A = this chain, B = another copy of it.
Amino acid sequence: MIIVMASWAVPEHVDGVLAKVQEMGKQHHLLKGDSRTLIVLTGEEDPDAQRHFANLPGVERLLAVAGSFKLASREFRMENTQVFVGCVPGTDKPVVFGGREAHIIAGPCAIEGESVSMEIARQVKAAGGKLYRGGAFKPRASPYSFQGLGKIGLKVLEKIRREVGLLIVTEVLEAADVDDVAAVADVVQIGMRNMANFRLLTAVAKTNKPVLLKRGMSATINEFLMAAEYILSAGNPNLILCERGIRTFETHTRYTLDINAVAAVKQLSHLPIIVDPSHGTGLWKLVEPAACAGIAAGGDGILIEVHTDPQHALSDGTQALLCDKLPGLMKKLQGIARVLDRDLS
């Protein structure tokens, strides 16, 4: 960390800071420039250090030298982390995120009932999909909206896994449900609203199940990787990140898919990152081009909402793609992946 003294700071101010540095037993360098004095603290960045200096008299501001995430950084681990999610049920085909192959995770926003959910699952399977998404528990902005089927929904997912043969990705909303969800899910999803719910992050991490962590709608890339740090530091390395759009001033789309973040995370971190074009745009007509962009930018997969009958979907129907569009989309994504020396299946 670097402590920047104000241009009007007097020697007593500098001495006050140095005394504090001593008290904390930190190594430092003192630099007297023409306009300002700098005090540079060496050694590990200390996330709490700022509080000690920020309002000592004469201190103008503090500059952090390094990002505050460690285990999630490329510096900590140079090669890509490969997350083994499991084998497609009834086969020995392993599904791994972070390797050469990108994957599609498709399904309805919410599990609404057995028949429709099963039918969608069959179509995902028929299109060559290996992973099924669907929420048993749904966080909704309105208390008057459909909140998901809960444990009944988990039963449906279990049946889809067994009878259709798809790996299951589903969300957990609070610590109390973690065990129930982990018993069914191959990947436990932490939704956008909970990215900063650090209690939940830790609880999910402890299951040692692969985790899908969605970026908060207003989380910076650094905060996103700090949330990842919670899961990694709790001892669970099986982490997949997901860019799902950020909130900006633009109102035509529901969110702004941050394609830069996909490329940036691949550089800053060793963790796999997938893209959610359904929430990232909020408009089904934009889902295909956004999905193509996600793979083109280096994404390790696509998380997508599909439905047999979007206008009857009990949530987010406006952004669900018709199942019959899935094969065509997967073909395009595979073509793009191959141009980039990767593949999709």
Instruction: Give the interface of A toward B (CB within 8 A).
Output: 2, 4, 7-8, 20, 29, 31, 33-36, 38, 40, 42-45, 47-48, 50-56, 63, 65-66, 68, 75, 139-146, 173-176, 193-194, 196-200, 217-218, 220-223, 226-227, 229-230, 233-234, 246-253, 256-264, 266-268, 280-281, 283-286, 289-290, 292-298, 310-318, 320, 332, 335-336, 339-340
Contact = CB atoms under 8 A, between A and B. Distances in A.
Given A63-B2, A65-B36, A173-B199, A229 B289 contact: no
Contact of A248 (B194, B246, B297): B246
Nearest to A17: B311
A243 to B, nearest CB: 11
Contacts of A53: 311
A230 B293 contact: no
A51 to B, nearest CB: 3
A217 B220 CA distance: 12
A143 B247 contact: no
A260 B289 CA distance: 8
Nearest to A75: B7
Nearest to A76: B7
B250 A55 contact: no
18 contacts: A38-B40, A52-B311, A53-B311, A55-B284, A55-B317, A141-B223, A142-B226, A174-B174, A174-B199, A217-B218, A218-B249, A222-B252, A248-B248, A250-B258, A256-B258, A257-B259, A293-B296, A336-B336
Given A141-B226, A143-B230, A264-B253, A44 B54 contact: no
Contacts of A218: 217-218, 247, 249
Contacts of A229: 142-143
A44 B250 CA distance: 25
Nearest to A226: B141
A53 B7 CA distance: 25
A116 B322 CA distance: 53
Contacts of A297: 289-290, 292-293, 296
Contact of A267 (B223, B285, B320, B335): B285
Contacts of A40: 31, 33, 38, 40
Contact of A44 (B35, B194, B267): B35
B316 A289 contact: no
A174 B201 CA distance: 12
A20 B311 CA distance: 10
Nearest to A45: B35
A196 B140 CA distance: 8
**7 tightest A-B CB contacts, nearest first:** A51-B317, A218-B218, A335-B339, A296-B296, A54-B318, A33-B42, A263-B289
